[in-house]
Amino acid sequence: MTSSPSAQLLDAAMARALELARAAGESGEVPVGAVVLSPEGTVLAEAANAREAEHDPTAHAEIRALRAAGAAW
């Protein structure tokens, strides 16, 4: 059985997502960032919105992070 990530790990992941969002906003994207954690709290992937840069309406931070996590898993 796995345990849930600690509040400290979740806070760190949220802080990182906010950093990614801030950077996305500064580069002209919608300011959204995403971090995907394993059940144990290991970072599997992270991403920021890249719809404008990639000219791809599906390049949302959440989608990009989930794709990267799937490839890493």
User: Which pTM does this prediction carry?
Assistant: 0.89
CA distances from 52 to 1, 33, 37, 65 (A): 41, 14, 26, 17
- What is the per-residue pLDDT across 51-73, written as a single tens digit (0 to 9) for each? 999 999 999 999 999 999 999 87
Q: What is the CATH number of the domain that holds 68?
A: 3.40.140.10
Give the pLDDT band of residue 2 (cuts 50, 70, 90).
low
d(CA 43, CA 69): 9
Closest CA to 51 of 24, 69, 23: 24
Catalytic residue positions, numbered: 62
Q: Quick one: pLDDT at residue 72?
A: 85
Residue 2 domain-assigned? no
Residue 53 domain-assigned? yes
The torsion angles phi and psi of 41, rounded to 5 degrees, stand at 105, 5
